[in-house]
Amino acid sequence: MVSRNPRVPSRFDRGVRTVLVGLSSNIVLAAVKVAAGILGNSYALTADGIESTLDIFSSAVVLGGIKISELPADENHPYGHGKAESLAAMTASSVLMMVGLGIAVRSSLDILEPHHTPAVFTLIILAAVIIIKNGLFKRIFSVGESINSLSIKTEAWHHRSDAWSSAAAFIGISIAILGGKAYQSADDWAALAASGIIIFNGLHMLKAAVAEIMDQAPDPQTEETIRTIAGKVAGVAAIEKCKVRKSGLDLFVDIHVEVAGTMQVHEAHLIGHNVKDALMASTLGIADVLVHIEPAK
């Protein structure tokens, strides 16, 4: 027995609006950072700007993944298109790691090459970027958590990584300015340190995206909540099995419900429907429920 619960439009709309905010911010900040990095002789800031430029591509991928995941089920995709959201998260996290690797290679080479000390005004740019990016991280991650979207949480981590890399650049440039010519390479060392942070976070989010595509079970608390809701339905003797997987913004549930063995088929069938209705009415974001009726042991 399968039932479908239409998504609440506001969940999808909130996700799209959030990604658009991040996309717009990356466009503006990328231009500012690259220009300031070139004019201010700071590779760390220039690299930061390049990362933000690639974040524009990442944001576009996430936005596309969310929109595709919203498409309704069809003959070829009876469970909908939710996995597009996970694929978008994989792509975004892979881009994040490649950006980190590119910055690591370039900064390592530049450590060996003498260059001008970064300009003081680059510190002002970086301070503003750190504040803005941390604010974006908090806002976007909160939305990702509330609508259960891995790709949006990955997008949030792009902003957090940007804030961290900017913080590393701020420290490196400060050392280079205060220390003088002997510490000019501190700017590049800061970029190298930031690349490690970026790669680590990209790997963390990639692991989560792969787990979701492989239908890894959600946290035990989610399954326990589903069992509790179903177990409280009148006529349910016990819950034998409960399997849960995530696709896009929603959960899919397969549950085995035990009822009295002497119960008539019609009555048992009605209890199954009541279990579905109770789960679909919950705030867990459940899209489909398959209920199997078993005689109580």
pLDDT tens-digit map of 201-252: 788 878 888 888 888 888 888 899 999 999 999 999 999 999 998 887 788 9
The reply to whether CATH 3.30.70.1350 applies to domain 220-295 is yes
User: 130 near 163, Cβ under 8 Å?
Assistant: yes
User: 162 near 119, Cβ under 8 Å?
Assistant: no
> Which residues of the chain fall below pLDDT 70?
1-12, 43-44, 51, 114-116, 184
Task: Note the pLDDT of residue 243.
Answer: 92
User: 229 near 279, Cβ under 8 Å?
Assistant: yes
**Rounded to whole angstroms, how far apart are CA atoms 42 and 191?**
10
Task: Note the pLDDT of residue 3.
Answer: 43
DSSP 79-117: T-STHHHHHHHHHHHHHHHHHHHHHHHHHHHHHTS--PP
Q: Could you give the residue range(s) of every CATH 1.20.1510.10 domain in the chain?
A: 2-213
**Rounded to whole angstroms, how far apart are CA atoms 116 and 40?**
9
Give the ranges where 180-264 is alpha helix by DSSP (H): 186-213, 220-231
pLDDT tens-digit map of 164-178: 778 877 887 788 778
**Rounded to whole angstroms, how far apart are CA atoms 252 and 233?**
19
| CATH code of the domain made up of 2-213 | 1.20.1510.10
Q: Could you give the residue range(s) of every CATH 3.30.70.1350 domain in the chain?
A: 220-295
